[in-house]
């Protein structure tokens, strides 16, 4: 059986639809529209044309030779999703879903965002298509990703800081679901990752599989063979599913997802859902999740807002269960070192999320040796993380450091100043 043939609702025992009945009609409508669009050449052509003239696809493949010297000499190839319009892979899925929303006659899109990348991409698509856009973002994340909040506002979106629960991505999704229940008639929920109720996991994966499809051709053209291993960071898991999926049936290609291990995978402060989670239901699907004995969701921790999520897409849980993909943890410190290393060896500043995959590639390279070819999904650029990185590495001058310290002491005031 082809592993690529899974279309949901279930991936093994994972997936499904665990949502209030009020949303089922909208999910059915979306499922039907998506199924029809998949068979409709004009839809594929319209999306491909947008990607060519707006996203900037195909994204290029960059060989990272100086970086590779630190990876046991293995060849490291970077799939440059950071060069897409809006600065990450997120735009692939957003444009696909925005086209569907238009087909469904919806006039308003809502989105959740953690790091802000999906929110920015959604606000961008809303501007392009003339849709109203509301982005839910945990209050904690609006503070650590202030630049992206400003970008979304400039693009005309309303950004709603979510103040309930842990005030991060998980709660932003709850709030978006509540909005959707109330406004489903004219609103499309533009979910940003391969999680959530069916058809989102399969649909979002399909929209991102352009990453893997292009990379497969590019690696073959450059090296004459398939890569030995693919490394991608995993929060909800969209960029990883996008690059993994076209390779699922290539048995010789190892697939490695890098999760955020925060302070360490054996501490209480991490977001390593697959490594440390148990099966459960969160945000509409059965998957793995971080939870206590009673099934209460635990708060995740990561320096990277985009990976700071206690759940993961159901297809990843399945790939882990059947052993097709493997998942490892990367700590905050390891990711930040990899971020600096890529910046200094290649002149490419990656997003902190992406830096987790880069650390994974360094370790894999040392394990596999100089004959190995490692494909890394460079899922996003690091501009949005400059403040975090500058503080982490002590790059701020004294005055700026003082301002930053003041903002830490008065986060609300800081937010006001930025809005």
Partner 1 sequence: MTMSPVETAIRTRVDAGSGALIGYLPVGFPDLDTSIDAAVALVENGVDIVELGLPYSDPVMDGLVIQRATQTALKNGFTLKQGFKAVERIRDRVNAPLLVMTYWNPVIQYGVERFAADLENAGGAGLITPDLIPDEAGEWMSASDAHELDRVFLAAPSSSPARMRQAVESSRGFVYAVSTMGITGARADVDAAARSVIARLREAGATSACVGVGISTPEQVADVLTYADGAIVGSRLVSGLAEGGVPAVAAIAAELATGKD
Q: Could you give the residue numbers annotated as active site?
A: 90, 112, 379
- Which element (helix H / strand E) includes 335? helix 332-346
Q: Which residues contact 155 (CB under 8 A, 6 or more apart)?
A: 120, 123, 124, 126, 127, 133
Interface residues with partner 1 (CB under 8 A) are 16-26, 28, 164-165, 170-171, 174, 177-178, 181-185, 278-284, 291, 293-297
Return d(Cα 410, Cα 109) in angstroms, integer: 32
Q: Which is nearer to partner 1, 177 or 357 (CB)?
A: 177
Place of tokens 């190892």: 254
Q: Which is nearer to partner 1, 52 or 178 (CB)?
A: 178
Nearest distance in Å: CB 197, partner 1: 10
Return d(Cα 316, Cα 285) in angstroms, integer: 12
Q: Which is nearer to partner 1, 273 or 291 (CB)?
A: 291
Nearest distance in Å: CB 416, partner 1: 23
DSSP string covering 171-196: HHHHHHHHHHHHHTTTEEE---SS-S
Q: Which is nearer to partner 1, 228 or 308 (CB)?
A: 308
Provide the token pair at 311: 């759940």
Asked if 23 and 269 count as a contact pair (C-beta separation under 8 A), the reply is: no
Q: Which is nearer to partner 1, 8 or 380 (CB)?
A: 8
Instruction: State the greatest distance between any 2 C-alpha atoms of the chain, in Å, as a whole number.
Output: 61
Return d(Cα 148, Cα 117) in angstroms, integer: 7
């Amino acid at each position: 059986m082809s592993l690529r043939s899974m279309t949901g609702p279930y991936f093994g025992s994972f997936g499904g639809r665990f949502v209030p009945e009020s949303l089922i009609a909208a999910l059915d409508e979306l499922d039907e529209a998506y199924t029809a669009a998949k068979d409709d050449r004009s839809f594929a052509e319209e999306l491909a044309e947008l990607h060519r003239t707006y996203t900037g696809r195909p994204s290029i493949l960059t060989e990272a030779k100086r970086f590779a010297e630190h990876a046991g000499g293995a060849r490291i190839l970077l799939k440059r999703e950071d060069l897409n319009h809006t600065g990450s892979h997120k735009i692939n899925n957003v444009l696909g879903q925005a086209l569907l929303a238009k087909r469904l006659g919806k006039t308003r899109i809502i989105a959740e965002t953690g790091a802000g990348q999906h929110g920015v991409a959604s606000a961008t698509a809303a501007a392009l298509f003339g849709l109203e856009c509301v982005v839910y973002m945990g209050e904690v994340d609006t503070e650590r990703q202030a630049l992206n909040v400003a970008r979304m506002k400039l693009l005309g979106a309303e950004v709603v800081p979510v103040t309930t629960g842990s005030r991060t991505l998980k709660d932003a999704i709850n709030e978006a679901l509540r909005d959707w229940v109330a406004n489903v008639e004219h609103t499309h929920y533009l979910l940003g990752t391969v999680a959530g109720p069916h058809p989102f996991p399969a649909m979002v994966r399909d929209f991102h599989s352009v990453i893997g499809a292009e990379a497969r051709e590019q690696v073959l053209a450059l090296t004459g063979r398939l890569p030995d291993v693919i490394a991608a960071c995993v929060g909800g898991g969209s960029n990883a599913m996008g690059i993994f999926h076209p390779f699922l049936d290539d048995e010789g290609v190892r697939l490695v997802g890098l999760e955020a291990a925060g302070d360490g995978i054996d501490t209480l402060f991490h977001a390593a859902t697959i490594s440390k989670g148990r099966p459960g239901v969160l945000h509409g699907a059965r998957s793995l999740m971080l939870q206590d004995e009673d099934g209460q969701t635990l708060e995740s921790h990561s320096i990277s807002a985009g990976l700071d999520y206690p759940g993961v897409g159901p297809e990843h849980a399945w790939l882990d269960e059947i052993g097709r993909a493997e998942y490892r943890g990367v700590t905050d410190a390891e990711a930040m070192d990899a971020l600096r290393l890529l910046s200094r060896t290649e002149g490419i500043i990656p997003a902190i999320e992406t830096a987790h995959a880069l650390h994974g590639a360094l370790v894999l390279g040392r394990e596999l040796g100089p004959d190995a070819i490692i494909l890394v999904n460079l899922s996003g650029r690091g501009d949005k993380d400059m403040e975090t990185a500058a503080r982490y590495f002590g790059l701020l001058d004294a005055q700026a450091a003082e301002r930053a310290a003041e903002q830490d002491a008065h986060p609300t005031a800081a937010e006001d100043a930025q809005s």
